[in-house]
Structure 1
Amino acid sequence: MTYTNGLAPIVTVRGPGNLHHLSYASNGGITNAVGIMPAPVAANASESNTITNFLLGFAYSYTGYAFYWDGAGPAFWRVAGSQFVEPVGTSWSAATGVPWGSQINLGVNVQSEAAAAVNRDNEVIVYIIPGGLD
């Protein structure tokens, strides 16, 4: 289960692109927030071989989260501490959904939630994990 006992999703991507993140379903009437976090490209690596790990954060004010990857390379997610991995969604109509305290769902359509959100590019609750995970 996500966001319980510190178990947050980690997204691993290869190459350049943007991780799109949506916070919605506020339990306090706060507006939805949507934005991108670009994957940085290391100066000493080719763009297609750069691996970036993102930790997806949360706020207690929301009960719904979704994300997708728009890069040319592959993207996979896993819950911290788990070896089980699955591919990441590729649009808001086929996003990866992360409901609070539930299992992650693939192919979630959150277009209407994203359209009603305030843009927070580079300010969304997504963190780049420096270095390797293991």
Structure 2
Amino acid sequence: MAVNYLNGLAPIVTVTGPGNLHHLTYDSVPSLNGPGAVGMINTTHNGTTNFLLGFSYNYRGYAFYWDGQAPAFWRVSGNSPFIEPVGTSWENATGVPWGSSEIELGINVATQAASATKAGGEIPVFFSADYFQL
């Protein structure tokens, strides 16, 4: 499926039950030459939670994964018929390299995550209007 971070298109990740959503930004633009950032957000909610992932124009690569007991899925918008599973580790993550027109499944960004700056437990994420509890 063609998708990118232009014109407001970004992944919505739907999770069920408690767990952690991990997010990585990597490959900074050449003029910044900075490290990537890695963080996570935790939910203890037993039901469904939707996250709209944010991003920064300072990086050219983004990846995310879910470590809860139930699987997570991503889509582009609330009424999108196209839904795919979310990765479960940095070795098997879901990601969007900058300029790509597709979200890629099963990418290995373990090296980038290991060298990224820890974001203090915070990631760029927005909650969908249907559920806000963590």
Q: TM-score range by the shorter chain?
A: 0.7 to 0.9
Cα shift at 1:121: 4.1
1:84-99 paired onto structure 2 within 5 Å: 84-99=82-97
User: Does residue 78 of the first structure (1) align with residue 75 of the second (2)?
Assistant: yes
Partner Cα separation in structure 2 for residue 80 and residue 124 of structure 1? 20
Structure 2 match to 1:66: 63
- Structure 2 SS opposite 1:66: strand
Structure 1 match to 2:14: 12
Q: How many residues align?
A: 125
> Which residue identity does 1:94 align to in structure 2?
N
User: What is the aligned-residue identity percentage?
Assistant: 59
**Which contiguous aligned blocks of 4+ residues in structure 1 show a shift greater than 4 angstroms?**
none
Structure 2 match to 1:112: 111
| Cα RMSD for the two superposed structures | 1.4
Structure 2 match to 1:44: none
Query: Structure 2 regions of 5+ residues with no counterpart?
Result: none
- Structure 2 SS opposite 1:91: coil
TM-score (norm 1): 0.87
Cα shift at 1:98: 1.3
Structure 1 match to 2:40: 36
Cα shift at 1:5: 1.1
> Structure 1 residues 121 and 36, CA, compared in 2 at 3 Å: closer, same or farther?
farther
Structure 1 match to 2:129: 130
TM-score (norm 2): 0.87
> Which residue identity does 2:20 align to in structure 1?
N
> Structure 1 residues 78 and 101, CA, compared in 2 at 3 Å: closer, same or farther?
farther
Partner Cα separation in structure 2 for residue 30 and residue 24 of structure 1? 9
What do residues 42-94 of structure 1 show as CA deviations (whole Å, max 9, x unaligned)? xxxxx2xx100011111110010000000001200011263200000000000
- Structure 2 SS opposite 1:93: coil
Cα shift at 1:40: 4.0
Cα shift at 1:113: 0.1
Cα shift at 1:104: 0.5
